Structure 1
């Protein structure tokens, strides 16, 4: 009976370690199969595009998109396991009117920023995803997804910037990277617009 009491805590610790190893192995497998990857056009990869945004109108929100890179582990806990990717906006609150998003990609993968109204009662990161780990973009107000340019494109490559200018009414908005699997990997944040 005494041996069974000593074995109890070790069984719990062994189970926890096994769960951790399984989680890490699953994330590595997904990263290895390019589940979180979106390829940039070959011309952009060859350039290693680096650029700066021009002077932008209205209030400027600096958005940083990043990832852990291929094959790297770590991050902070998120709603879907280990957050391998991040999207951060500063400031997180602006006044209604003309707002420009200046997006810099500090990660290794291609990213984008789509602006979606955030429904009442819903928090950032709570949108349902469909096939490919993407959210529904219906109602999008615009996006920054062009390397070294404004508006829509094929994504912002590593080390580059993209930007967009919108007129926003008071409310809550969610900034998301909607490339396959990126939202589930933690690429979302809330932008609040006050009167």
Structure 2
């Protein structure tokens, strides 16, 4: 290996190590602040009136999505969005739902985007014997949405749209039978980056 290539390799390793350290530090700070444990996120309360969220009939699941913003870039520009490679694949995004268990029936999934990128939340049945995060990722960096029961991707609105912009909310109301479901962000690359969680529905 030439000295120039050796320097390039060490530079890439140093950048990746720095990103990992910052990712761990951010996660620790969020955990210490209780960001992962709020039943009703403060960000939702802040945007509830602004977005005109409907009164909930039945159960409500409050979902917070976030990302590391400027850290979602590689040394040569945006990280790749097509699978478990690049900085997106280091788990630098999160999707947290509270509560994680609700009774069967009408359920409103209310989402707040606490990150800097555009996100969405899709509701999909979770196949028996499978865990959240195990879906096959296509060459476009997305998973199949076949069997989707609902989608919250309309900024300050209900249902499908063009994504939830930073600092805004969205929601969708679905009727769920008892079983296991997966809530996920299907923006290219985001599922691979860790944006999924399980929702359990009881009888």
Query: Counterpart in 2 of 1:176?
Result: 184
Query: Counterpart in 1 of 2:57?
Result: 57
Is 1:83 equivalent to 2:75 in the alignment? no
Alignment of 1:1-195 (within 5 A): 21=13, 24=16, 51-71=51-71, 81-195=89-203
Query: Counterpart in 2 of 1:41?
Result: none
**Structure showing greater Rg:** 1
**Structure 2 gap segments, 5+ residues each:** 1-9, 21-49, 74-83
The DSSP-based 3-state class of the residue aligned with 2:66 is strand
Distance change in 2, residues 1:181/1:97 (3 Å): same
Give the TM-score normalised by the residue count of structure 1. Answer: 0.71
8 Å CA contact retained: 1:52, 1:161: no
Give me the whole-angstrom Cα distance separating, in 1, the residues matched to 2:170 and 2:201: 21
Instruction: Quote the offset at 1:72 in angstroms.
Output: 5.8
Instruction: Quote the offset at 1:82 in angstroms.
Output: 2.0
- Backbone CA RMSD of aligned residues: 2.6
Distance change in 2, residues 1:131/1:23 (3 Å): farther
Aligned residues: 152
**Which 4+ residue blocks in structure 1 deviate beyond 6 angstroms?**
none
8 Å CA contact retained: 1:67, 1:84: yes
The DSSP-based 3-state class of the residue aligned with 1:70 is helix
Query: Counterpart in 2 of 1:9?
Result: none
Instruction: Quote the offset at 1:53 in angstroms.
Output: 1.9
